[in-house]
Chain A
Amino acid sequence: MRRDYDVAVIGGGLLGSAIAWGLGRLDARVCVLDEGDIARRASRANFALVWVQGKGLGFPAYADWTVEGAGRWPELAEALRYQTGLDLCYERPGGFHMALSEREMEARAAVASRMAAQGAAAGIELLGRDELRRLMPQIGPDVVGASYCPMDGHVNSLRTFRAFHEGMRGLGVDYRAEAPVEAIEARPGGGFELRTPAGEMGAARVVLAAGNANERLARQVGLHAPMLPTRGQIIVTERTGRFLDHLVMTIRQTDEGSIMIGDSKEEVLEDAETTLRVGAVIADRARRIFPALARLNVVRTWSGIRVMTRDGFPIYDESTSHPGAFVACCHSGVTLAAQHAFVLAPMILAGRLDARAAPFSARRFADAPATLAA
């Protein structure tokens, strides 16, 4: 049976499901059109940090948006726990970005001073080796120092993803798997027709939240989403007793004790393989940071494709040629989940992005079309 919706969200990853859950809380009639289990889903491959440190360098509005989003995580975690009973294990122990050479330390210092110069709310402290050792006696002899931001945190991101989906179901959001949108057509009287392999449906508004596929979909509705995806690889060890009280940007211990090691970046878009060459570098850096990790057994490795815009900053935009069409693209589906659920969703339901979203328009790209709302 055909149904019409207030909003169709294209993409059921962390970003799409956060928006759809936020819309569902506002009693909107919402459908989520998603791919299936074998989608290249960053939401199942990510590192689960709620990371603030250094975000928005050269883009103060993004720095503020990130600080606000991290600040609202407790509220999001509580709302989802209350509704679904799932504990998202949100913690904010502060995060370290380790330097393994004087050159890396200079790079950390440059980030800290540039963030301070642009008035960032999230202060970054620099710690020398001795200071760092008092906080983290586990570090190895190669660690020169680190930058530290007390606002950095982490969650159980798989459980977050599940909580959004259970939450959506509880709110009556209509979720369709195996229904990737092939075409979006504007209806003469307003609204959209969406064609999927699972049939057609209609919606007054449409939100593109399809990750890197937004680039293709955006063109159909006068929007612009230039993407530049990269691949990341992650190594996971067996579960261990509590080892890390803080986060390291590339190493974290999960709520259940596994140690995740990550942060590689390749210009490769195949997510069905991991490579020894990259894994060896990741593991070697982890071992230099914390020598005791060397004896742990690795139980899993995987790779994932990052959702990344061409300049690395989020895009939130609306179309003038296709009123009611919105796009949301960002790398930080975990960090910004509260912003997407609590701030972006109400704007979309109201039919108009407001001043908080304005800095994120794709108008900043030289090749932007003239159909983006001013």
Chain B
Amino acid sequence: MFRRAMADPRPEVGITIDGAAVRAREGDTVAAALLASGRDVRRRTAVSGAARLPFCMMGVCFDCLVSIDGVGNRQGCLIAVREGMRVEVQRGARQVGR
């Protein structure tokens, strides 16, 4: 869907998406890394289960909600990737205690 610019000089950062190793770039938001990963990263909404992708990329629409390091409902577009970060696409509502 998205292709990284060939000339992007930023160093790589290793994260996992649903357990799979993905190379992001330093400074990527989690939402950007998801979109650039080439994987199916569509979340499912909490009530109707509709498929959604990150949309506004600026903290407003909440369509990038994602589980990061075991904590659900985080806004992927407001959080920068870190080496070793575990990202899980959230399918349905967050679970209490996670």
Binding site for B on A (CB under 8 A): 238-241, 243, 256-257, 259, 290, 292-293, 295-297
Q: List 10 A-B contacts (CB under 8 A).
A: A239-B47, A240-B46, A241-B92, A241-B94, A256-B47, A257-B46, A257-B47, A257-B93, A259-B96, A290-B96
CB neighbours of B73 from chain A (8 A): 238, 297
How many residues of B sit at the interface, in one of the four size bands? 10 to 19
Would you call the interface of chain B mostly helix, strand, loop, or mixed? loop
Please state if B96 and A240 are interface contacts (CB–CB under 8 Å): yes
Distance to closest chain A CB from B78 (angstroms)? 13
Compute how far the CA of A297 lies from the CA of B73 in the bound complex, rounded to whole angstroms: 9
Compute how far the CA of A243 lies from the CA of B72 in the bound complex, rounded to whole angstroms: 15
Please state if B97 and A292 are interface contacts (CB–CB under 8 Å): yes
CB neighbours of B71 from chain A (8 A): 295
Please pick, from A240, A259, A290, A297, the residue contacting B95 in the complex, using a CB distance under 8 A: A240
Compute how far the CA of A297 lies from the CA of B65 in the bound complex, rounded to whole angstroms: 13
Compute how far the CA of A241 lies from the CA of B93 in the bound complex, rounded to whole angstroms: 5
Apart from A238-B73, A293-B96, list 13 A-B contacts with CB within 8 A: A238-B94, A239-B46, A239-B93, A239-B94, A240-B94, A240-B96, A241-B96, A243-B95, A243-B96, A256-B46, A257-B47, A290-B96, A296-B96
The 5 A-B pairs with the shortest beta carbon distances in the complex, nearest first, are A292-B97, A239-B46, A243-B96, A241-B95, A241-B93
Distance to closest chain B CB from A137 (angstroms)? 12
Within 8 A of A (CB), among B37-80: 46-47, 71, 73
Compute how far the CA of A256 lies from the CA of B49 in the bound complex, rounded to whole angstroms: 12
CB-nearest residue of chain A relative to B96? A243
CB neighbours of A259 from chain B (8 A): 96
CB-nearest residue of chain A relative to B73? A238
Kindly name the residue among B46, B92, B96 whose own CB sees the greatest number of chain A CB atoms within 10 A: B96
CB neighbours of A243 from chain B (8 A): 95-96
CB neighbours of B95 from chain A (8 A): 240-241, 243
Compute how far the CA of A336 lies from the CA of B93 in the bound complex, rounded to whole angstroms: 32
Please state if B97 and A295 are interface contacts (CB–CB under 8 Å): yes
Interface string of B13-27 (1 = CB under 8 A from A): 000000000000000
CB neighbours of A240 from chain B (8 A): 46, 93-96
Please state if B46 and A292 are interface contacts (CB–CB under 8 Å): no
CB-nearest residue of chain B relative to A243? B96
CB neighbours of A256 from chain B (8 A): 46-47
Please state if B47 and A292 are interface contacts (CB–CB under 8 Å): no
Compute how far the CA of A98 lies from the CA of B61 in the bound complex, rounded to whole angstroms: 37
Distance to closest chain A CB from B98 (angstroms)? 8
Kindly name the residue among A238, A290, A292, A293 whose own CB sees the greatest number of chain B CB atoms within 10 A: A238
CB neighbours of A257 from chain B (8 A): 46-47, 93
CB-nearest residue of chain B relative to A296? B96
Compute how far the CA of A160 lies from the CA of B46 in the bound complex, rounded to whole angstroms: 22
CB-nearest residue of chain A relative to B45? A239
Compute how far the CA of A210 lies from the CA of B78 in the bound complex, rounded to whole angstroms: 46
CB neighbours of B93 from chain A (8 A): 239-241, 257
Distance to closest chain A CB from B11 (angstroms)? 32
Distance to closest chain B CB from A91 (angstroms)? 17
Distance to closest chain B CB from A241 (angstroms)? 5
Compute how far the CA of A296 lies from the CA of B95 in the bound complex, rounded to whole angstroms: 9
Compute how far the CA of A295 lies from the CA of B93 in the bound complex, rounded to whole angstroms: 14
Compute how far the CA of A239 lies from the CA of B94 in the bound complex, rounded to whole angstroms: 7
Compute how far the CA of A292 lies from the CA of B47 in the bound complex, rounded to whole angstroms: 21
CB-nearest residue of chain A relative to B74? A297
CB neighbours of B46 from chain A (8 A): 239-240, 256-257
CB-nearest residue of chain B relative to A238? B73
CB neighbours of A297 from chain B (8 A): 73
Compute how far the CA of A120 lies from the CA of B37 in the bound complex, rounded to whole angstroms: 63
Compute how far the CA of A320 lies from the CA of B76 in the bound complex, rounded to whole angstroms: 66
Distance to closest chain A CB from B58 (angstroms)? 18
Please state if B94 and A292 are interface contacts (CB–CB under 8 Å): no
CB neighbours of A292 from chain B (8 A): 96-97
CB-nearest residue of chain B relative to A256? B47
Distance to closest chain B CB from A158 (angstroms)? 14
CB neighbours of B96 from chain A (8 A): 240-241, 243, 259, 290, 292-293, 295-296
